[in-house]
Amino acid sequence: MLHRLLTVGAILGCALTATGQSAFVNWESPHVNPITLTPDGARVLAVNTADNRLEVFAVRGATLVHEHSIPVGLDPVSVRARTATEAWVVNHVSDSVSVVDLATMNVRRTILTGDEPTDVVFAGDPERAFVSISQLNQVAVYDPADLAAAPIVKAIKGEDPRALATDGERVYVAIFESGNNTTILDQFEVSDAVNPYPGDPNPPPNAGAGFEPPIAAGLPVAPEVGLIVRKDDTGAWIDDNGGDWSPAVPWDLLDHDLAVIDAATLDVSYVTGTMNLNMNLAVAPTGDVLVVGTEAFNEIRFEPNLQGRFGTVMAAGVPAGGAIPTMLVDLNPHLDYTVPTIPQTERDLSLGDPRGVAWRGDGSAAYVTGMGSNNLLVLSPALDRIGLVEVGEGPTGVAVNDAAELLYVLDKFEGAISVVDADGLTEIDRVPFYDPTPAAIKNGRPHLYDTHRTSGLGHLSCASCHIDGRMDQVAWDLGDPSGSVQAFDQVCNFGLGGCEDWHPMKGPMTTQTLVGIIGTEPLHWRGDRNALADFNGAFESLMGDDTQLTGGEMNQFKAFVATLTYPPNPYRNLDGSLPTELFTGGDPANGETLYTQIAFDQGALRCSDCHALPTGTNGELTSALLLQESQSFKIPQLRNMHEKTGFDRTSLTNHRGFGFVHDGSTSSLFDFLQADVFTFASGPAGDQQRRDIEAFLFAFATDTHAGIGAQVTVDGTDAEAIARRDALLAVADGGDVGLVAKGLYLGLERGFAYLGAGLFESDREGEIFATVTLDVFAAPGAEMTYTIVPLGSETRIGLDRDEDGFFDRDEIDACTDPADPASFPGGGPTECDCPADIDGSGDVGFTDLLQVLSVWGVCGGCPEDLDGSGDVGFTDLLQVLSQWGPCS
């Protein structure tokens, strides 16, 4: 068998060496609502993002017993149970929702949603399903009784709608990147007569008429820079020194934090005034809404003034039907923020990076998970702290079992569920599930996320701004007037020189993503960091920690960051090609031609000469003189341009306050291409060229083929599903992606990996099936789901889940565990040798006996039904007693 697998691996991986792809791709997709309890309280459902599965656990007293792992789409991030037998799983990278039949333990339908869906809830009468589609700023509304019907799509006036909650009559949508009423003035506006300070200084003072910290003696004159301002309660735009810049800001921001959808009429209203990043929300039994997230103080200038205190962890209470919060609470009341560093014992009381939230059924308590602080915070209805529980690593979601007075916390980074006593507020069990995440990711993640280990007050981390390794969509001025000039040591103007030394007062710069930065050095907007290790000092100077990372820890951090991968670009065709038209009115295909062949930069350089493919950067700098800027800048990468939209300096309804270029002061790429250095054609012809290049940049290829994640479920009754499956086969035949099929075949859960030419290798040794054979046996109740996966991952995802060299079905046939690399045929005792070891402890004892007695009666499919009769009775009890003692 092992020899057979190695042979198949050679077939499947023939292009692997050339592409450099691996069996595991890390998109670092964020959990939203990753764990839930079925309405009958019998099961806990949890997404296994790393393994592309839904994990099903039976509730057995004070613990959980694993029942099943159901393959779904790529990177599931949320799950909701519509009934006791139906769950909807939201797949972030697959752009789909898997409708799971919990009776057959199989996906019965795949709903295609649009780019990066995040959550789903059910509301209204008749019941409808509401799905948030984060990158399209939409909520799609489906009829669960007619999944073939097109959804009703509601536009959301805000960036990145993610988490959902409902009281049955209203659906509340947390707008993740809502902003905090800050925006940017460019350097020319700051130097203009609207400057409220005498003499129009640039940079303006931040402490009365001077600077704090004071400017270092002998420091050269600082470059002219932009300025961040925040809108106050009166509507005035104020800087961190109280200066009023309102005349310079003709635009405005919506600052929508929550969208509220009437489940009957589908009318949309909004809530404002919560926080910068609205991470999750839950509806109390009273109908009031609890929102958790973080606030940023990016209008405060200079790193020393922000040290350890650049943000807070917040909760907002919004009354039912209200438009503004009536409670706004710091979830770390033990912090007074007067110092950047406190003792570790006090830091360990902090909550960081809140992700999950849920209410107790009687409304007496709410629970908030701290993904960065590895704890669970308990709040009173008045949002006061009443408890704190340490749980596993990376808790992202919490489900409440009121009947059993238990809480279930999903520990994403650990691959486990913490079971917490809701009354005693102690963790009483931790139930692991299979997690294929490579060690490089597990070892490096804490350096990005862990707030207790990396910050002076215990509530912040690098991920407070680099959210999930990405960006918070605002700008920060992290200069230091008391700093010193750094000698320039990079390549400037193709080696011709002309770039100045780096001044410590650098001005506002938008947060950059960490995705894909390894290999594109030097780093940062100014290229003033040779490598990731050069940011080590920020753990002390910005985070307020006592120490920097050790050399070994920094190597772990770098290895983890190197795994971060851009998801597919949503504007490319399924086969990875460019479309001929985009929503901007541009032609991306023609834009690529213009980008790579025409010298628009002063008639001498093509776009691609500086913004080299495939990343968009050549790693060099362009001088301030050539840029017509006050500073020289690195040529930046271009793989996430489509995520920076939402700002328009002429609009009163902006979704965000920052746009393109280093400080976010440019509204659009089209506006950027209006610069004098570019020599486009005159009039409408030139504008069309700009639109075409803009469209190409929005459709810029990422590290992930555009087709990856694409799915379809085939049940033998839908011709459109067969046509889409054939389209997926055609993409896979191109050789740039893999393709797997997972589902029920002749009553058994099976997996298949595409070999090409219409043939699939199965998860049982020696079996190769034609596509038509799989189609013959696909039927309602025996569905097969096809998914395009990264090239090189099809064996792990389709055939050998634990990568131990033995196919999954062969392991099941041999009674070994396909989700345990240490369990394989011929490797020792198997599950068939000891089926009564229900709890997997290695022996049959009282726990197994109690589990049988606790579910006595009808219990089809549960692990205690040892004889497979459909109920738990005396035969099952006798099996436990006959196998009593250690398994051998």
> Hunting for tokens 């592409």 — which residue is that?
19
Question: Which residue in the block uniquely carries the two structure tokens 């594109």?
Answer: 520
- Residue 614: cis peptide before it, omega within 30 degrees of 0: yes
Q: How far is CA 756 from CA 323, 343, 732, 743, in A?
A: 56, 60, 7, 19
Based on the number of CB atoms within 10 Å of its own CB, is 550 exposed (0-12), middle (13-18) or buried (19 or more)? exposed
Q: What single-letter DSSP state applies at residue 512?
A: P
pLDDT class of 5 with cuts at 50, 70, 90: very low
> If we measure between CA atoms, which residue out of 561, 818, 796, 823 comes closest to residue 51?
796
Task: Determine phi and psi for 798, rounding to 5 degrees.
Answer: -100, -35
- Give the separation between CA 57 and CA 79, rounded to whole angstroms: 13
Q: Of 740, 772, 736, which Cα lies nearest the Cα of 755?
A: 740
Q: What percent of the chain has pLDDT over 70?
A: 97
Contact 110, 710 (CB under 8 A): no
pLDDT at 842: 74
Picking from 768, 765, 762, 766, the residue whose alpha carbon sits closest to that of residue 749 is 762
**What pLDDT sits at residue 882?**
79
CA-wise closest residue to 789 among 739, 730, 735: 739
Query: For 242, which DSSP code?
Result: S
- Beta-ladder partners of 88: 80, 99
Quote the pLDDT of residue 829.
65
- DSSP 8-state assignment for residue 255: -
pTM of this prediction exceeds 0.95: no
What strands lie across the sheet with 76-83, from one edge to the other?
76-83, 86-91, 96-101, 106-112
Q: Say which range, 20-34, 107-121, 215-229, 657-671, has the weakest mean pLDDT.
A: 20-34
Residue 407 neighbours by CB distance under 10 Å? 27
Indicate whether 862 pLDDT > 90: no
Distances (CA, A) of 475 to 116, 140, 229, 506, 507: 24, 31, 11, 12, 9
Predicted local confidence at residue 16, as pLDDT: 37
pLDDT at 851: 83
More confident residue, 234 or 831: 234
Higher confidence at residue 2 or residue 521?
A: 521
Can you point out the beta strands (E) in 552-706? Answer: 621-622, 633-634
Mean pLDDT of 685-699: 98
Residue-wise pLDDT tens digits, 341-382: 999 999 999 999 999 999 999 999 999 999 999 999 999 999
Strand positions, DSSP E, 249-380: 256-262, 268-272, 277-283, 289-296, 311-318, 327-330, 354-359, 366-370, 375-379
Higher pLDDT, 816 or 835: 816
The H or E element spanning position 427 is strand 426-432
pLDDT at 422: 98
Closest by CA position to 508, among listed 307, 239, 248:
239
The pLDDT assigned to 21 comes to 55
Structure tokens of 156? 């959301």
pLDDT tens-digit series, residues 606-660: 999 999 999 999 999 999 999 999 999 999 999 999 999 999 999 999 999 999 9
Distances (CA, A) of 255 to 347, 471, 655, 668: 31, 18, 7, 20
Average pLDDT over every residue of 731-753: 98
pLDDT given for residue 10 in this prediction: 37
For residues 434 and 808, what is the distance between their CA atoms, to the nearest angstrom? 14
Q: Where are the domains of the chain?
A: 2-24+707-809, 843-886
User: Residue 9: what pLDDT?
Assistant: 41
Span 740-753, mean pLDDT? 98
Q: Please say if the pLDDT value at position 8 is more than 50.
A: no
In 3D space, the residue among 365, 419, 415 whose CA is nearest the CA of residue 391 turns out to be 419
Mean pLDDT of 170-181: 98
Model confidence at 6, pLDDT cuts 50, 70, 90, reads very low
Q: How much helix, strand and coil, in percent to the nearest 5, is found in the chain?
A: 20, 30, 50
- Can you say whether the dihedral through the CA atoms of 720, 724, 729, 730 is positive or negative? positive
Q: Is the pLDDT of residue 810 over 60?
A: yes
| Angle between helix 846-854 and 874-882 (nearest 10) | 180
- Which strand ranges, in their side-by-side order, compose the sheet holding 117-123? 117-123, 128-133, 138-142, 152-155
Specify the pLDDT at position 247.
97
Confidence at 885, pLDDT banded by 50, 70, 90: confident
Distance CA 249, CA 485 (A): 32
Please tell me the predicted confidence (pLDDT) of residue 20. 47
Task: Quote the pLDDT of residue 878.
Answer: 81
pLDDT value at 98 more than 80: yes
- Read off the pLDDT of residues 312-347 as tens digits, 9 standing for 90 and up: 999 999 999 999 999 999 999 999 999 999 999 999
Please tell me the predicted confidence (pLDDT) of residue 559: 98
Q: How confident is the model at residue 301 (pLDDT cuts 50, 70, 90)?
A: very high
**How far is residue 148's CA from residue 111's CA, in Å, rounded to a whole number?**
9
End-to-end Cα separation, the chain, in angstroms? 24
> Is 80 exceeded by the pLDDT of residue 601?
yes
Res 831: pLDDT: 64
Question: In the prediction, which pLDDT does 270 show?
Answer: 99
> What's the mean pLDDT in 762-785?
97
pLDDT in tens, 437-492: 999 999 999 999 999 999 999 999 999 999 999 999 999 999 999 999 999 999 99
Split at pLDDT 50, 70, 90, the class of 858 is confident
Nearest to 206 by CA among 141, 299, 301: 301
Of 162, 514, 188, nearest in space to 355 by CA: 162
Q: Summarize the confidence of residues 587-596 as an average pLDDT.
A: 98
Q: What is the mean pLDDT of the chain?
A: 95
**Helix and strand counts by DSSP (H, E) for the chain:** 20, 45
Note the pLDDT of residue 759.
98
Which pLDDT does position 2 carry in this prediction?
40
Give percent of the chain with pLDDT exceeding 90.
90
